[in-house]
Amino acid sequence: MTKPLNIQFKALNAKTEDAITLFASDKLALGKIAKDYDLRSKKALTKSAKAAGFTGKSRSLAHILAPANLPASQVLLLGATPKKDVTSADWTKLGGFLANNIATKNAAAMSVIFDFARGEASADDIADFALGAYLRIYKFDKYQKPNGAAKKEENGGSKFARLTIHCANPAAATRAYKTRKAVGEGVHIARDLVNEPANILSPVEFASRVKALKSSGLAIEILGEKELKKLKMNSLLSVSQGSKQPARVAVMKWMGAKSKKDAPICFVGKGVTFDTGGISIKPSANMGDMKGDMGGAACVTGLMAALAKRKAKVNVIGIVGLVENMPGADATRPGDVVTSMSGQTIEILNTDAEGRLVLADAVWYAQEKYKPKMIIDLATLTGAVIIALGKEFAGLFSNDDKLAKQIKQAGIDTDEKTWRLPLSPRFDKMINSTTADMKNIGGREAGSSTAAQFIKRFVKDGTPWVHLDIAGTAMGSPKNDINESWGSGYGVRLLDRLVADHYEE
């Protein structure tokens, strides 16, 4: 919730009195402008760098304070060389790396001079770099007093608020960054939602925040309990019936294709705003983390905002099922049987396997209402996926090889990685029930696969579908160059790239 970083682009010959970042290559090779600064400061830059052992190696940094004869109060030398094998994700991480270091240098503003001794950065490279800085500076601090000790300890008292990037073609970089910023804002929205405490972010409040995105150009529809009961979404409603908080389903529409009749892409997100496990209650240790059990819904919301903000030329529907899972007097009991919107019956043997119950109805509704060309659902669904893949990869399950490959490549390009895990008739058999059409758990073995297999039963034949289990990547994931937040916003950049690369006109 920190105020977003103000980023602007100017010509290389623009003068600045901000703190300055200059690029250096291996063996301390400096570009033309860096050489000029070095001469003006009587070699203060290279002398200080050598004294600190800085050689210009990639992703290394030298800090020079109060260099003589320069208007800047401080100069940073950043090791980097543009190469053919440097990817978009590499530039984004480099921008985050620099922003993190600037934030510790007590500089309110920084000018980055994109001038290299070897190689050249394109407008897209520079925009990716700027996106990394924008993402890295995010902090969720709305509940910390402005001068409180906790806030000062968390952010080091950073004043960093403005980044000016000087480059050969600032107009092109500005255009390229416009779309990146829209995606960055979508990531921030997703992070805010995941980080928000559950006593604030109820299903009703979540739906209200979705509704506020009308200002981005989205068409919004909120389904309340009356509408959900009429639609016979009994699977979804079974999760929320022990809570005082009523369920909601929020629908976001972006119709950006030339023909509004083109079948849309549909993204569906699990939005359990807090998950106690219900009657099958979770252990108390780390239960507070279950405020993030709506990471899938957060991603879909941030993604839809990003697509609208950058005016993506595609028709997209985002649907989020919003519930709170509590062990109240009216809560679903283990052994209860419910009839889903699809008409299929479910024996609920474990009320802590609730996310798939939400997705069952939301996925079916998406197909019935919008006849999408494909469905991608996201959910913090299973602890088993963390055991299998750790926190670096999301589990990917699909009935369509082409779509699965597209998502895998988008994950590589954005460094929001996925790993495909198996579906199988044998896993499907594991969720057969002797009482109903299916049960909501399949035992300890292959827990992520049986959960995905459950959702697949609600995907109509012929509909390309992907399920992303983001339990390890959406919350509490490892901190990195572009994220220090507990809520990572995982999936927004991944799926925006998928849309941009393959489904826009």
φ, ψ dihedrals at 406, nearest 5°: -65, -45
Give the separation between CA 130 and CA 94, rounded to whole angstroms.
9
- Tell me the one-letter amino acid at 215: S
What's the pLDDT score for residue 149? Answer: 58
Contact between 160 and 102 under an 8 Å Cβ cutoff? The reply is: yes
What's the pLDDT score for residue 152? Answer: 52
Whether the pLDDT of residue 461 is over 90: the answer is yes
Contact between 112 and 165 under an 8 Å Cβ cutoff? The reply is: yes
Q: Where are the beta strands (DSSP E) in 123-257?
A: 162-167, 219-223, 248-255
Of 350, 377, 333, 337, the residue nearest 444 (C-alpha): 350
Sign (positive or negative) of CA dihedral 58, 61, 62, 65: positive
Give the separation between CA 118 and CA 81, rounded to whole angstroms.
6
What's the pLDDT score for residue 155? Answer: 46
Lowest mean pLDDT among 57-71, 205-219, 267-281: 57-71
Point out which residues pair with 62 in neighbouring strands: 77
What's the pLDDT score for residue 16? Answer: 83
- Band (pLDDT 50/70/90 cuts) for residue 150 is low
For the chain, helix, strand, coil in percent to 5 are 40, 20, 40
Sign (positive or negative) of CA dihedral 29, 56, 415, 401: positive
* Percent of the chain at pLDDT exceeding 70: 97
Q: Across all residues in the chain, what is the average pLDDT?
A: 95
Query: Which pLDDT tens digit goes with each residue over 325-376?
Result: 999 999 999 999 999 999 999 999 999 999 999 999 999 999 999 999 999 9
DSSP secondary structure string, 427-491? HHHHT--SSSSEES---STTHHHHHHHHHHTTSPTT--EEEEE-TTTSBSPPPBTTB-SSB--TT
Reduced to 3 states, what is the DSSP secondary structure of residue 165? Answer: strand
Give the separation between CA 425 and CA 234, rounded to whole angstroms.
26
Give the separation between CA 458 and CA 478, rounded to whole angstroms.
33
Reduced to 3 states, what is the DSSP secondary structure of residue 503? Answer: coil
Point out which residues pair with 9 in neighbouring strands: 165
Of 243, 245, 447, 439, the residue nearest 360 (C-alpha): 439
Catalytic center residues:
282, 356
Domains of the chain: 6-183 (3.40.220.10), 196-477 (3.40.630.10)
Whether the pLDDT of residue 151 is over 80: the answer is no
Query: Which pLDDT tens digit goes with each residue over 375-402?
Result: 999 999 999 999 999 999 999 999 999 9
pTM of the prediction? 0.96
Query: Which pLDDT tens digit goes with each residue over 411-452?
Result: 999 999 999 999 999 999 999 999 999 999 999 999 999 999
Strand 374-379 to 265-275 pairing: parallel
What's the pLDDT score for residue 84? Answer: 87
Of 194, 195, 186, the residue nearest 154 (C-alpha): 195
Give the separation between CA 114 and CA 168, rounded to whole angstroms.
8
Tokens, residue 96: 């985050």
Distances (CA, A) of 407 to 72, 97, 376, 380, 458: 44, 26, 10, 18, 21
Sign (positive or negative) of CA dihedral 307, 308, 313, 319: positive
Selected residue with higher pLDDT from 154 and 128? 128
- Band (pLDDT 50/70/90 cuts) for residue 13 is confident
| Radius of gyration from C-alpha coordinates of the chain | 25
Whether the pLDDT of residue 157 is over 90: the answer is no
- Tell me the one-letter amino acid at 192: D
Tell me what the mean pLDDT of segment 218-237 comes to: 98
Query: Which pLDDT tens digit goes with each residue over 164-217?
Result: 999 999 999 999 999 999 999 999 999 999 999 999 999 999 999 999 999 999
